[in-house]
Chains A and B, each alone.
Chain A
C-alpha cells in the first residue's frame, strides 16, 4: 500500500548551519490492511518518514509510492493523518473540526454533519460536539483529532506520536480504542511512536529505526489478533517482544539522549 524505496532526506542547513541528513537508504513497505509501528529514538527521522508517506514532504533521493502511484502531494482521498499535537483548529467547535476535512474535500453540508457526528460517537465524545478545543483535556483533543482523520474515510491512516503528550493512563485507554477501531475498519495504519509498549500493543509489525541518519534496523512481527485487550499487555509474549525491542534500542536511545555521534562508530 505504501512503499518507500531507498529513500533519503537531507535538510539543507540555513544561516551557516551544516546540512542535516535525516534519513538514509530507507526501504519500507506498509502492506494493505496492516498496522505498522515505526519505533525509534527521538530525532531518528520517524516524523520525517511519516511526512513523506503523507505527501507533505518530498524525499531528497528515492521513491515514495502509494497504491503503486508515485506520491506528489497530500492524497486526502487515500491518506488521513493524525498529528503529534492534535492540531485542532482552536476557533472551531469539536464537530466543526471534524467537518473541516470534509469541507476541504467539498462534501455537502448535511452529509458533513452526519458523518462528523458518526465519528464523534465512535470516539465517545458526542456530548462535546459544541465545545471548543480549549475546553477539552489533552486526551479528548487527541480523540477529536482521531475522529477528524477517520471522518475522511480513507483506507490509510498515518499517526505521528498521537499519544506522545498524554499521560500513561490516557495513552493506555486510547491505545485500546485505536486497536478496536483498527479491528473494525480494516484500515492500513502507520504509527510513529517512541513507546515500546505502545508499538507492541498495537502493531502487527514493528520497524525499528536507528539514530540519525535514520535507517530501518530490523522489522519484528507481532502475532496477536485485534482488537487487543489489556490481558495481552500482561502476557509473556508481550514481554518477550518488549524486552527484545528494549535491547535493540537501548544503545540507540542512550546515544540520542546523550548526544553521542553515531557516525563515529
Chain B
C-alpha cells in the first residue's frame, strides 16, 4: 500500500470517529453534562483565549520550566558523575533506583504541606518525577562510554575535565537527549497532577474546575490544547534526539519510559 493510501485511510478513520462522536452527542446518546460534540469543543477553544486561562497557562509553563531545568541540571550533572566512575555507580545507583521506584504520588500532599499551593510545590513535585528518567538514562549513557575512548583521550594528554567535556559528555549525548525528552513528559505530568490536586490557578486547576462544574466543551478543549502542546514539545525533543545520535552505528532504546 502506498503512503498516500495509508494517509487517506488514517484521515478517514479520524473523521469517522469525529462524526460518530458528534452524532452521539447531538442525538443525546451521551449525557451532554459529560460529553460535548466536537463542533462545540472547537468553539470552546476560542473561549479559552481569555486572560484568566492565559495567565493560568503562563503559570503552568513557568512551573514546567522551573521543574524541567532543575531536573535537567541535576539529572545530567549527577548522571554523568554517577555513571562515569565505577565506584559511584555501584555506591549511588541503587539508591537512585530505590527513590525512582517509590510512588511519588503519595508524596504530593507532603510537598504541598511543605511548599504551599503555589508554584514551588508544583515545581518540586514535577521535578521529583522528571529527574529520574534524565538521571537513569544519563547514568547508563555515561556508563557505556567505551573505556578505550577514555584511555585514548588520557594518553593524548586530556585532563580529567577535558575527558568529561570532550569524551564522556559527547559520548553520552544521545542518552542525555533521550533522558531529557522522557523527563519533559514526566515533568508536564507532574505539574498537571499537582495542579489537579491542589491549586487556585494553572491549567490543571481549570481542568478540575471544568469537570467539577460540568462544562465538557471547555474541558475537552483544554484537554486537547494541553495534549497538543505536550506532543509538540515531545516531537521537537525527538527530532533533537535523532540529530544527537546520528553518529551512532546502532539505535539505542530509552532506558526509562516511552
Does chain A bind chain B?
A: yes
Chain A contact residues, CB within 8 Å of chain B: 54-56, 74, 76-77, 79-81, 83-85, 87, 89-91, 100-101, 103-105, 132-134, 148, 152
Question: Contacts A91-B173, A134-B249: A85 and B157 contacting too (C-beta < 8 A)?
Answer: no
Q: What is the 8 Å Cβ interface bit string for chain B, positions 231-248, against chain A (1 contact, 0 not)? A: 000000000000000011
For the complex, give the distance between the alpha carbons of A104 and B155 in Å. 10
Closest partner residue, chain B, to A57 (CB atom): B151
For the complex, give the distance between the alpha carbons of A77 and B155 in Å. 10
Closest partner residue, chain B, to A105 (CB atom): B157
Interface SS of chain A: helix, strand, loop or mixed?
loop
CB <8 Å contact, A87 and B173: no
Residues in chain A near residue B171, CB distance under 8 A: 89, 91
Chain B contact residues, CB within 8 Å of chain A: 146, 148-149, 151-159, 162, 166-167, 170-171, 173, 247-249
12 further A-B contacts with Cβ under 8 Å, apart from A74-B157, A81-B151, A84-B148, are: A55-B155, A74-B156, A76-B156, A83-B148, A87-B148, A87-B152, A89-B149, A89-B167, A90-B248, A101-B156, A133-B247, A152-B156
Question: Contacts A81-B155, A91-B170, A91-B247: A104 and B149 contacting too (C-beta < 8 A)?
Answer: no
A to B CB contacts below 8 Å, 20 in the list:
A56-B155, A74-B154, A74-B155, A74-B157, A76-B155, A77-B157, A79-B155, A80-B155, A80-B156, A83-B152, A87-B148, A87-B152, A89-B170, A90-B248, A90-B249, A91-B171, A101-B156, A104-B156, A133-B247, A134-B247
Question: Contacts A81-B152, A100-B166, A132-B247: A87 and B146 contacting too (C-beta < 8 A)?
Answer: yes
Residues in chain B near residue A55, CB distance under 8 A: 155
Closest partner residue, chain B, to A51 (CB atom): B151
Question: Contacts A91-B247, A104-B162: A54 and B173 contacting too (C-beta < 8 A)?
Answer: no
For the complex, give the distance between the alpha carbons of A210 and B162 in Å. 38
CB <8 Å contact, A87 and B149: yes
CB <8 Å contact, B151 and A87: yes
Interface SS of chain B: helix, strand, loop or mixed?
helix
For the complex, give the distance between the alpha carbons of A87 and B149 in Å. 5
Rounded to whole Å, the gap between the CB of A132 and the closest CB of chain B is 6
For the complex, give the distance between the alpha carbons of A85 and B146 in Å. 10
Centre residue among A55, A56, A100, A104 by max chain B CB count within 10 A = A104
Question: Which 9 interchain pairs have the tightest Cβ spacing?
Answer: A76-B157, A101-B156, A87-B148, A87-B152, A104-B158, A91-B247, A81-B155, A104-B157, A90-B247
For the complex, give the distance between the alpha carbons of A133 and B149 in Å. 13
Residues in chain A near residue B155, CB distance under 8 A: 54-56, 74, 76, 79-81
Residues in chain A near residue B166, CB distance under 8 A: 100, 103-104
Q: Given A79, A104, A133, which contacts B153 in the complex, CB threshold below 8 Å?
A: A104
CB <8 Å contact, B153 and A85: no
Rounded to whole Å, the gap between the CB of A226 and the closest CB of chain B is 25
Closest partner residue, chain B, to A135 (CB atom): B247
CB <8 Å contact, A100 and B173: no
Question: Contacts A76-B156, A104-B156, A132-B247: A83 and B173 contacting too (C-beta < 8 A)?
Answer: no
Residues in chain B near residue A132, CB distance under 8 A: 247
Residues in chain B near residue A80, CB distance under 8 A: 155-156
Rounded to whole Å, the gap between the CB of B145 and the closest CB of chain A is 11
Closest partner residue, chain A, to B156 (CB atom): A101
Rounded to whole Å, the gap between the CB of B166 and the closest CB of chain A is 7
Residues in chain B near residue A134, CB distance under 8 A: 247, 249
Residues in chain B near residue A100, CB distance under 8 A: 153, 156, 166
Closest partner residue, chain A, to B86 (CB atom): A14
For the complex, give the distance between the alpha carbons of A80 and B247 in Å. 26
Rounded to whole Å, the gap between the CB of A197 and the closest CB of chain B is 26
